[in-house]
Chain A
């Protein structure tokens, strides 16, 4: 009986225009964000003549100073800097005094000494956040080869901290945010090692599966709310509340059937796309002669994306029920979503309901972050179930004040009156 009710919700969603819009948006994400990764076949083996092999995190103190020097130099030339904001980064145009502070910090740190003529100076800007597979082969400035360091690590720390202060704080030179810009170009040897890891440990598909789940998770963190925020509002709009609420079905059954119905539709959509991604990626990888894991995309979809879908669905139902308004639910979800996605990977605090991992490969990092990711995902599964239960409780109160105000507060007043 419960399953039949769930099936009715599935059927409804299959006739719902909003659901098809959602499919279109999610597919668009897939086609524009993920498919380019595999358009020209899977990751080619690095060749010693490639020149550029992507980026890796800086680990060496001297390399760190060089990278920071190059970064200051580039933004000094641009005349702007970026600051970390709450939701989005802020662009700040440098005043003459600030430019002076940049210049003086730079001069103290080191010196720009290119060995060749005509080296491009904008490596950071062009490659930030990109992967080797995405970047055309460029001959770019490598600060490790073009910068000469003039200070000790302690002196360097003092200089960048002072610079952050002079620029008004929250810059990428502060202790808090510096790690976000500490990337350096990989060497050929490092690239080969990473490549071999992707082939051997990740069997190619797992590395791509994580990137897939990263991009597709972004969509999962927001768009389901457009279905869930209106599923209960629909009863009021259709003026069916009296008819439904006076029936013997329990509130938990009613809410759960709608929740599951939506979740089934969304999960089916994501699994179908994961199926296509498997096809597009694994086939290419197989053709290139690699061993593949055919379950990789389904694994990451189930473990990373489904909890996100669960959360966006349940959240939309609860908030729309509390406020009698789907718009507020969308707004709430939008803010949570912005907070969740403003990292490219490595941050899995419990307030983030989307798992970001915007790097191809990086198995070491994945292993290091896995415990946090797992805690985060389990948290969201449990939270979603609790939210569904809360929504049922709210509905059971609403069922007794059909004529009352649309908001929960007024219902609570009524409830207290008789309790």
Chain B
């Protein structure tokens, strides 16, 4: 199971949403990181055949993306905005979507639905209307429906947005469980989401892929670029103009800073061990990976 993307570009009118993307993705969890408007949803919609690319070649498991019928059998998708016909219950929604995935016999369908709802811990809510579910439950239902056709490629668009920390962790673990024997592509703009779940990531910024590779390589790439320093409040403006401040904490008259700089920015600065968040900031500010 492998996805290969070559020279992919897509624009909406004059607005370029994706520019010359080259990326290979193989089995396991893949994190797609990027700020709002980076092009994450656009890329996912192209992969799910919902949007046509302008140029480039994409193969999923050796099948050209243009063969939509075969591609659709391979994929499961949880859109960024998951919503259902308003009158359906959890079970009815699953049943309907299963039929749309060509899952035939009633018995088989029923068994499959119960299995999946059990996995996402919704078996107590069969009769609950979808619109009455909490944000977290809705997202879990979203994952269950995306798994109905046992997809080789599971694509989830910002599944943790709007969830409380506890739900978020549960959701990430759920995805991890499902990533065995398949590719799971997860998009997010929260670094923490991918830190402990994904081995490989891609970072999108304004339609360009600014990083691709392993999480640990990303960390290594920003070594020597992250510094901490305690400075006087008065110096703050000066420092801000010469380097990028990641965080600042007041300590009496002093301010404790974490900043990005190619070399020691001031005598009192000390090199810090970069976190993934720091590395992400480094990349986003144009640091070379």
Contacts and interface: CB of A to CB of B under 8 A. Distances in A.
Contacts of A1: 99, 102-104
B100 interface: yes
B121 interface: no
A393 interface: no
A399 B79 CA distance: 15
B206 interface: no
A403 B96 CA distance: 23
Contacts of A400: 49-52, 68
A238 B85 contact: yes
Contacts of B102: 1, 248-249
Interface stretch (A193-201, A203-211, A410-418): A410-418
Contacts of B45: 242, 402-403
B85 A247 contact: no
Interface residues of A, number: 31
B54 interface: yes
A8 B85 contact: no
Contacts of A250: 69
B49 A246 contact: yes
A399 B101 contact: no
Interface in B84-109: 84-87, 96-97, 99-104, 106
B52 A401 contact: yes
Interface in A379-419: 399-404, 414-415, 417-418
Nearest to B149: A248
**Max chain B Cβ within 10 angstroms of own Cβ: one of A245, A246, A250, A404:** A246
B83 A238 contact: yes
A4 interface: yes
A244 B100 contact: yes
Contact of B145 (A239, A243, A249, A414): A243
Interface string B23-51: 00000000000000000001001001111
A12 B103 CA distance: 20
Nearest to A414: B52
**Max chain B Cβ within 10 angstroms of own Cβ: one of A5, A12, A15, A403:** A403
Interface stretch (B70-78, B211-219, B265-273, B279-287): B70-78
B87 A417 contact: no
Contacts of B84: 238, 240, 243
A418 B64 CA distance: 14
A47 interface: no
B72 A246 contact: yes
Contacts of B79: 242-243
Contacts of B103: 1
B97 A247 contact: yes
Nearest to B75: A246
B81 interface: yes
B99 A245 contact: no
A234 interface: yes
A366 interface: no
A272 to B, nearest CB: 25
A243 B149 CA distance: 13
B133 to A, nearest CB: 15
B72 A402 contact: no
B101 A247 contact: yes
A240 B142 CA distance: 12
A243 B82 contact: yes
B100 A254 contact: yes
A415 B52 contact: yes
A4 B106 CA distance: 9
A243 B97 contact: yes
Contact of A240 (B50, B53, B83, B104): B83
Contacts of B82: 243
Nearest to B81: A239
A248 B50 contact: no
A418 B53 contact: yes
A251 B48 CA distance: 16
B53 A247 contact: no
A12 B93 CA distance: 13
Interface in A1-40: 1, 4-5, 8, 12, 15
Interface string A238-279: 111111111111100010000000000000000000000000
20 contacts: A4-B99, A4-B106, A8-B96, A8-B99, A238-B84, A238-B86, A239-B83, A240-B83, A241-B50, A242-B81, A243-B97, A245-B49, A246-B72, A249-B102, A400-B49, A400-B51, A403-B45, A403-B50, A415-B52, A418-B54
Interface of B: 12, 42, 45, 48-54, 68-69, 72-73, 75, 77, 79, 81-87, 96-97, 99-104, 106, 145, 149
Q: Which 8 A-B pairs have the closest CB atoms?
A: A242-B79, A402-B50, A247-B100, A1-B104, A248-B72, A239-B83, A246-B48, A249-B100
Interface of A: 1, 4-5, 8, 12, 15, 234, 238-250, 254, 399-404, 414-415, 417-418
